[in-house]
A and B are shown apart, each in its own frame.
Chain A
Amino acid sequence: MTMERTTFQGSGEYVASEELMSAVNIAIQLKKPLLIKGEPGTGKTMLAEAISKSLGKELIIWNIKSTTKAQDGLYVYDTIQRLYDSQFGEAGVDDIAHYIKLGKLGEAFKADSQVVLLIDEIDKADLEFPNDLLWELDKMEFYIHETKETVKAKERPIVIITSNAEKELPDAFLRRCIFHYIDFPGPELMEEIVKVHFDRLEENLLKQAMDTFYWLRGIRDIRKKPSTSELIDWIRALQLGGIAPEKIRQELPFIGVLLKKDEDLNELKKRR
């Protein structure tokens, strides 16, 4: 515990496996972006929140959508506003800097102290998107053509990038990242995770629910396997519904919380 301030140890609300913790710490030490992949619902996005909390650093989230362009993250030159203002002779029209708006990456660079930057679901964007950010993530700086200004990070942000593997990321981009694949948690880790989310939870209910959950995940023909977050919702539903634990496996109450596809529900019916 010599580097208390800079090492990540998980947090009160987030249970991380040791492998994940060491990946985070190594990424921080090597000053490289950490790329996180894993099944949906394994807490990829929550990781950044947990890091920001446990290290006491501000969190900046850049949500990537299919239309997001790399430029959006750096800065946007609001030409329309400028055109509009000029029609009415507003003050400040000749000052271009007035119309430069920093994106999330720009914000992270401009911050006075080190921040945690989450680039969420990078695979949603166009195939070339990650390539357009290579220089910026490497050098942690970019150039604003309109104002001839270079924005350079004062403190290199801790960059966490998540991906759902919808698209393959370019090799050049991958080479610069530290990679971690979040495994689906096994029963022991899962128990810990679930307990973090509940103040009071009956042991028997938890055990029955978990058994049923892993049994469901083990059925080969089920297409969309239920995830951690769905398990938590389900246990909450069971708790609120006052379901007797011994009935869980038999009756599978509120099963719609776990299985969302018709095919999967039919598959389950066949087995009962």
Chain B
Amino acid sequence: MFTPFFYILKAKGIEVSLTEWVTLMEALDKGLSNSSLTDFYYMGRMILVKSETDFDKYDRAFQEYFQGVHSEDEIPPQIMEWLDAGGDDEERMWDEDENDSLWTKKEHSDDPDQVRRKLKERLEEQHTQHDGGNYWIGRRGGSTFGNAGRTPGGIRINGRTGMRSAFQVIGEERYRDFRLDKALNTRQFEVAFRRLRQFSARLDVPRTELDLDKTIDSTCSNGGYLKLEFDKPRKNTVKLLLLFDSGGTMMPFSSLCNNLFKAVDKANHFKDVKIYYFHNCVYNKLYNTPECENGDWIDTEWVFKNLDSDYRVIFVGDAQMAHEELLGVNGNYRAGNGGLPGIEWLRLFQRKYKKAVWLNPRKHDNVAALEWLESELLISEIFPMYKLSVQGLKEALNKLMVSR
């Protein structure tokens, strides 16, 4: 019935499966949407969408498909304003007993089409603000239309409680914040970092851990004589090397980087985590603290010698070095270059560590077209580059997990 809607949802990036679609049809068949568009909106969402991060996409698909219906519901801004006036005088306008009597007296107009038609007519007639009362569009009355009124089967305009009308909800874009392409808090980073694990049970390691359950089973089937069973220890074997850019251009992202740092710090499931800092670009020294004070550093060579190539490397930086800083042999204005331009140091990392990615809080999509982003382009040719957002981090971590 709503097949085009199915394809619009798919086009908007919601992976609706056939099972779910059939479930929705079944629900419609059972009349669970009460022939109401708003109910249909919620029902469709709860059956087809399985993450609040997709609510926004659903809203947009819904809007596209049911657009025609929307235009009929349209309320002139003037009337919206009267209804919105709300606020302090609300309590006075509301009379419980009167409402109860209205509730019983009122004839219920259940046919939504008829109600909508009436609303349209009424909109054409009404020219002033009305609160209370039974006929005009207004607040807290028994009229079929208005805000915070209580007529069953009526149309609520811009109200606050109860079932929110579909287009109302869409208009608010309340689920914007949940979208995956937004950078979010530590917790979400932490969740993302859980992807980064590889259990030793799947690796070729000796069976050294006593498997109690199997031992008991074997002992039982062995007629009660003890028979020991061993298994591979189930431990995460992932080691992580994190390199933060602490240069001036990264200042606007300090809280974002801080969140990322905390997430790694809290994730205790890694076998080893090493964190160092660099200023604008990596040269022969890596700093121990984000302040990047000369002297408080280690040799980059030390890292190459002591951290084996199993380490997964994540660079975090905006990749906005000056031309000289990246390509010049004397580009490092704070300390020596160590004989190589910055980009060569990065290539050394690439050669040593097979699994390395670059997270960029400023990542540009059309980097090749923007000349002044030369350094970003050059670096993204060395390391796969992702935006520092929840979605970007997920993709980056997936990249780190796949074997080449």
Residues of A within 8 A of B (CB): 17-19, 22-23, 25-26, 29-30, 32, 35, 37, 79-80, 82-83, 86-87, 165-169, 171, 174-181, 183, 186, 188-189, 223
Contact = CB atoms under 8 A, between A and B. Distances in A.
A83 B224 contact: yes
Contacts of B55: 181
B80 interface: no
B94 interface: no
Question: Which of B45, B50, B52, B220 has the most CB atoms of chain A within a 10 A radius of its CB?
Answer: B50
27 contacts: A19-B164, A22-B39, A22-B42, A22-B43, A22-B163, A23-B46, A25-B32, A26-B32, A32-B23, A35-B50, A79-B217, A80-B216, A82-B220, A83-B224, A87-B224, A167-B191, A169-B50, A174-B50, A175-B17, A177-B50, A178-B46, A179-B49, A180-B46, A186-B161, A188-B161, A189-B161, A223-B185
B42 A171 contact: no
B52 A37 contact: yes
Closest 9 CB pairs of A and B: A174-B50, A18-B163, A181-B52, A179-B50, A188-B161, A175-B17, A178-B46, A23-B46, A175-B19
Interface residues of B, number: 35
Contact of A178 (B47, B160, B217): B47
Given A83-B216, A83-B224, A165-B191, A29 B50 contact: no
Contacts of B320: none
B84 interface: no
B37 interface: no
A83 B256 CA distance: 56
Q: Majority SS of interface residues in chain B? A: helix
A167 B191 CA distance: 6
A37 B55 CA distance: 13
A79 B55 CA distance: 48
A83 B223 CA distance: 9
B20 interface: yes
B202 interface: no
Contacts of B51: 174, 179
A174 B160 CA distance: 30
Contact of A83 (B47, B163, B219): B219
A174 B19 CA distance: 11
Given A19-B42, A19-B163, A167 B224 contact: no
Contacts of B32: 25-26, 29-30
Interface string B36-65: 000100110111011110010000000000
A55 to B, nearest CB: 17
Interface string B152-172: 000000001111100000000
B238 to A, nearest CB: 15
B194 interface: yes
B235 to A, nearest CB: 14
Contacts of B23: 30, 32
A17 to B, nearest CB: 8
B27 A30 contact: yes
Interface in B9-38: 15, 17, 19-20, 23, 26-27, 30, 32
Given A26-B43, A32-B23, A175-B17, A166 B191 contact: yes
A153 B30 CA distance: 23
Nearest to A174: B50
B186 interface: yes
Contacts of B49: 179
Question: Which of A17, A26, A86 has the most CB atoms of chain B within a 10 A radius of its CB?
Answer: A26
Contacts of A23: 42, 46
A80 B220 CA distance: 9
Contacts of A181: 52, 55
A82 to B, nearest CB: 7
A87 B55 CA distance: 60
Contact of A29 (B27, B163, B217): B27
Given A29-B32, A171-B15, A179-B47, 12 more contacts: A23-B42, A30-B30, A37-B52, A82-B220, A83-B220, A83-B224, A86-B224, A165-B191, A181-B52, A186-B161, A189-B161, A223-B185
A167 B163 CA distance: 30
Nearest to B45: A179
Nearest to A173: B50
A45 to B, nearest CB: 18
A23 B15 CA distance: 21
A108 to B, nearest CB: 22
